[in-house]
Amino acid sequence: MARPVTLFTGQWADLTLDTVAAKAKSFGYDGIELACWGDHFEVDKALSNDKYIKSRKDILEKHGLKCFAISTHLVGQCVADAMIDDRHKAILPPRLFGDGNPEGVRQRCAEEVKNTAKAAKMLGVGVVNGFTGSPVWHMLYPFPPTSQAMIDAGFKEFADRWTPILDVFTAQGVKFGLECHPAEIAYDIYTAQRALDALKGHQAFGFNFDPSHFVHQLFDPTEFLSAFPDRIVHVHVKDSKVRLTGRSSILASHLPFGDHRRGWDFVSPGHGDVNLEGIVRTLNRIGYQGPLSVEWEDSGMDREHGAREACEFVRKMDFKPSDVAFDAAFAES
The CATH classification of domain 5-330, taken from the options 3.30.1330.40, 3.20.20.150, 3.40.50.1820, 3.40.50.300: 3.20.20.150
Q: What is the pLDDT of residue 321?
A: 86
| Eight-class DSSP state of 279 | H
**pTM summary value:** 0.96
d(CA 307, CA 302) in angstroms, rounded, equals 9
Q: Which residues contact 21 (CB under 8 A, 6 or more apart)?
A: 32, 59, 60, 62, 63, 65
200: Cβ contacts below 8 Å, ≥ 6 apart: 159
Q: Grade residue 195 by pLDDT with cuts at 50, 70 and 90.
A: very high
Q: CA torsion 322→327→332→333, rounded to 10°? A: 30
In this prediction, residues 305-329 reach a mean pLDDT of 86
Q: What is the β-pairing status of strands 175-178 and 127-130?
A: parallel
| pLDDT higher than threshold 90 for residue 323 | no
Those residues with Cβ within 8 angstroms of residue 93's Cβ, 6 or more apart along the chain or in another chain: none
Question: For 249-303, how does the pLDDT look when each residue is reduced to its tens digit (9 = 90+)?
Answer: 999 999 999 999 999 999 999 999 999 999 999 999 999 999 999 999 999 999 9
Query: Strand, helix or coil at 295?
Result: coil
Residues 163-191 have a mean pLDDT of: 98
Residue 328: band (very low, low, confident or very high) from pLDDT cuts 50, 70, 90: low
- Tens digits of residue pLDDT in 21-59: 999 999 999 999 999 999 999 999 999 999 999 999 999
Q: Which residues of 258-294 are buried (b: 16+ CB within 10 A; e: fewer)?
A: eeeebbbbbbbbbbbbbbbeebbebbbeeebebbbbb
Domain ranges (residues) in the chain: 5-330
